[in-house]
Amino acid sequence: MKAEEKPITEIITDAKIYEIPRYQRPYAWDEENAMALLQDTWDAFKDSPNREYFIGALITIEKQPNERFEIVDGQQRLTTLTLIFTALRNLLPTESQKTELQKRLMPKNVFTGAAESPRLIVRNQDRAFFQEYILRSDPQEPPLEISESQRRLHNNMRRIQTWLHDGERNPHLGLYTNFLLTMVYAVFVKANDFTSAYRLFNVLNARGKPLSNGDLLKNKLFDLCANDATELDLVEDYWSDIEDLIPTDRLDNFLSHYRTSEKAAKTDRNLFEEYSALLEKATDSASQFALRLKTQAEHYASLLDPDHKNLTTRKAFVALSRVPHDDWLPPALAFLRSNSADSDLQIFAQLLENVTYTMWILGYSRARRNTHYYTIVDSVKKGVPLRDIATTLAKTFPSSLLRDALNSDVYGQSYAMPILLRLEEEAQDGSVIKTFAARNTIEHILPQTITDSYWTSRFTKEQHKQWVHRIGNLTLLSGKKNSGVSNSPFPAKVIYYNKKLGKVAFDLTKEVTELQDWTVQEAEKRQKSLIDRAITHWSLEAGA
């Protein structure tokens, strides 16, 4: 292994080729990351054009001596530097300057004029896009349907070029290019293999994003089939599909939930180590293992963006998406792995929603609720009938617990809005699903502060304290609240509610507008009605 400080001119040259290997993640830097590198180097150039500027490490495996290198760490920086040089090539005023940079990007054969291989060879999935829409001197607008990494490449390139083309910067682009090439340095590391290269990550990684558990798992799969070209291509294709399904920043989250759906227990070691153990025990090939992951990635994506044909199932998963944690995902993944019938999925989705909302309303800690989720995963894996699972949960969570919790103050709790939205959805029949796109707010029918005689004549101070934050006194409105109406008498509020309902028709609020008066008796009736509906919907005893 050898590490040297080198200027960019010795790294990005027409004599070296860098290849991003199969196991690397897609290009992941967003515009903020790319602009940070551009802005930092520009500021360094303007402040001290003759002072060296260091941008971190580039860790490689030398494939051909001093000629071809595999990028282990530094893909994001090297790719973004390539985007910066490409933008500069397009903007520099003279042909000689453009030609010099072209040689460092994708040189042309001087005899035929044909473009040769790029100096940076990106992943297979992005290679044609990179050459056609980024490196060409006259790139066209890309098609609408492109991958997330391709969108990032194009957006970053466009943003960089727009920024550099600014009238104040444009006259200095030649000197800035020279600064990038001669005064910007990186530690260039040449390793003999992946293991020794990875050992340096935590020490030498600066701007780049270290490899995630997903990256390491992908590399492990590639290693397992390194000598089988057919297997290697299959693993690459399946993993590419996974990356298309799941954003890079959520991949480890998916792998963690998938692992829990397999083991029905909390993690007892590093996630990559657990997957390594799974692979060692696996009786199928690397490609079959990757295919199973892809199938579960499809399920994971469908759970995060529910679009099920069965409306009851879709409503349940939409309701689950409003929960502030995603610990319910492993049971759902476990069920989807072994059950495909829509009718069974509908029953299970409702069961999962019921237990999740019940534990949320009861204030269960993560450890406590995961104990129950692990039990569900284990039962699903053993093929326990859904009715038996429901019976067990009903004994643990009797409806009386839920009723008592809902009879206390609801406003201010994290579940207040989700409960009201779910009751609103259930006010419709099974053939209707509502999408709440507008900004919605919780309205107190009896105001939080009462000064008007209408309210003081109907509610004592004790009654006001008792009822103001309970679910029976809460309803839904769209858009921002009108503070001028909040404390108005009930008849004025009804007029305001009807005006708001012209934008978003909430059935819960329509019911309120049909009343003539708002008294303790009306609050009591609505409290009982809403809680009865909640118990009917979320009671685990109903499915037992």
| Residue 229: both structure tokens together | 């070209």
Least confident of 219-228, 254-263, 423-432: 423-432
What's the chain's length in residues?
A: 544
Residue 113: is its pLDDT beyond 70? no
Burial bucket for residue 320 (CB in 10 Å: 0-12, 13-18, 19+): buried
Q: What is the mean pLDDT of residues 137-142?
A: 80
Q: Which residue has the higher pLDDT, 206 or 103?
A: 103
Beta carbons of 175 and 45 less than 8 angstroms apart = yes
Q: What is the mean pLDDT of residues 415-443?
A: 82
Residue of 176, 178, 179, 197 whose CA lies nearest to 188: 197
Q: Strand, helix or coil at 13?
A: coil
Q: Which residue has the higher pLDDT, 462 or 210?
A: 462
Residue 202 pLDDT:
44
Q: What is the mean pLDDT of residues 72-90?
A: 93
Q: What is the mean pLDDT of residues 382-401?
A: 93
Torsions phi, psi for 190 (to 5 deg): -110, 115
> Confidence band (pLDDT; 50, 70, 90) for 247?
confident
Helices 342-362 & 399-406 angle (0-180, nearest 10): 50
Residue 50: is its pLDDT beyond 70? yes
The CA-based angle 9-13-19, given to 5 degrees, is: 120
Q: What is the mean pLDDT of residues 203-232?
A: 73
pLDDT > 70: percent of the chain:
91
Residue 198 pLDDT:
56
How far is residue 157's CA from residue 2's CA, in Å, rounded to a whole number? 32
How far is residue 248's CA from residue 290's CA, in Å, rounded to a whole number? 17
Residue 514 pLDDT:
93
Average pLDDT, the chain: 88
How far is residue 188's CA from residue 59's CA, in Å, rounded to a whole number? 6
How far is residue 506's CA from residue 428's CA, in Å, rounded to a whole number? 10
Residue 505 pLDDT:
81
Instruction: Name the DSSP letter for residue 23.
Output: T
* Distance, CA of 523 to chain centre: 41
Residue of 15, 24, 166, 156 whose CA lies nearest to 86: 156
> Residue 30 contacts by C-beta under 8 Å, 6 or more apart in sequence?
152, 155, 156
| pLDDT tens-digit map of 439-469 | 888 999 999 999 899 999 999 999 999 999 9
Torsions phi, psi for 69 (to 5 deg): -130, 140
Residue 11: is its pLDDT beyond 70? yes
Residue 110 pLDDT:
56
Residue 22 pLDDT:
77
Residue 530: is its pLDDT beyond 70? yes
Residue 75: is its pLDDT beyond 60? yes
Residue 111: is its pLDDT beyond 60? no
To the nearest 10°, report the CA torsion of 351, 355, 357, 361: 160
Output the CA torsion sign for 249, 250, 254, 260: positive
| pLDDT tens-digit map of 158-171 | 999 999 998 889 89
Residue 204 pLDDT:
45
Q: What is the 3-class SS of 327-396, one letter each residue?
A: CCHHHHHHHHHHCCCHHHHHHHHHHHHHHHHHHHHHCCCHHHHHHHHHHHHHHHHCCCCHHHHHHHHHHH
Residue 205: is its pLDDT beyond 60? no
Which of 55-59, 215-219, 539-543 reaches the highest mean pLDDT? 55-59
Output the CA torsion sign for 528, 530, 536, 540: negative
How far is residue 386's CA from residue 335's CA, in Å, rounded to a whole number? 10
> Confidence band (pLDDT; 50, 70, 90) for 389?
very high
Q: Residue type at 447?
A: P
Instruction: Name the DSSP letter for residue 115.
Output: B
Query: Which uninterrupted H or E stretch holds 17?
Result: strand 17-19
Q: What is the mean pLDDT of residues 106-128?
A: 77
> Confidence band (pLDDT; 50, 70, 90) for 207?
very low
